[in-house]
Structure 1
């Protein structure tokens, strides 16, 4: 299940194995920004795909490049924003929801975790308006996912709501199409 990587440090970052990541970095400091042979993911992108905060923090402290792009022209910020709940998360949330609202708190904590991840990357200098192979920025994806926590965070970092993707759609257009009215107002103010 998941992705298999040709670079061991990428696999370790994806699987949340901090010990292994640390070992690889100790053996060769240059592997911090290595790009995997399959899809060009860096260890940082791998960790962001899964939302592994400790590994992201570790890599950033060792000056991992937050703006390297993989073969889809995506940076770690694209993946941090696109990160959705896993099927397992949903299952836990649904099963635990009736039990003292544990499911609700789990959902809130997962959302906060994602917010921390995006904030960490922005603080490390992630280019907020970087576009991928579809011409989408992190803000496009945050709007597509109707993320009320991430859109304001990206706007505060000067994300441009008027950048159009390859379908000619801006983040504002996406918010309008999805009838995401609170976010539409925020985006209008920012543009």
Structure 2
């Protein structure tokens, strides 16, 4: 079920209605960062919830603030990293996969759009290590959803692998618990590459004991 916003600007962004966005911004340019009373979402958060690439581009062109948090302490980046296939997506893919690989092409196109959305946000001043009310960063959510194309983009922007959420789990802990072995390897290599020593004479495996088993 979709979201019904009290703010017309947020609803237009959620619905990917560029024409309505244009009218609302023309009437009042400050509308670009208006927050919905119920959720605290801004238009760009609403657009990121749905993965509406063209709407996000449009809002960024009008200097949408990517740092504003909603009532769950989430920024637009959190919602971009939480993007995944819906049940309907999986159903369409399953039905169409045998037909000239149409299902595969649909899946690839959706993943490509998610990557492009992430690249757009990471090109701004978005806070890559912002934590929400659960203590999760975007990297936590990307690991939960096995987003192997998104994780390298976050790591390139210095996403912190060592941040613990309120369940005392780091992104690496999540990947290990879910047995996402390729992601475990990716995160471990990133930590070692970024900082072989966390301080004078302190090896990474000692400074971050939760990765010890992954590096030997």
The answer to whether residue 10 in structure 2 is matched with residue 16 in structure 1 is: no
Deviation at 1:91, TM superposition (A): 2.1
The answer as to 2:75 corresponding to 1:81 is no
SS at match of 1:124: coil
Paired residue for 1:106? 106
SS of equivalent to 1:172: helix
User: Shift of residue 2 of structure 1?
Assistant: 0.4
Residue matched to 1:32: 32
Of the two structures, which has the highest relative contact order with CA contacts closer than 8 Å and spacing of 6 or more?
1
Unpaired stretches in structure 1, ≥5 consecutive residues? none
- Is the radius of gyration larger for structure 1 or structure 2? 2
Offset, 1:88: 2.4
Query: Alignment length, in residue pairs?
Result: 191
* CA RMSD, Structure 1 to Structure 2 (Å): 0.8
| 2:166 is the counterpart of 1:181 | no
For 2:62, the equivalent position in structure 1 comes to 62
Structure 1 ranges of 4+ moved more than 2 A:
none
Shift of 1:190: 2.0
Q: Deviation string for 1:39-86 (max 9, x for gaps)?
A: 100000000000000100000011000111000000000001101112
2:155 maps to which residue? Answer: 155
In the superposition, the TM-score normalised over structure 2's length comes to: 0.87
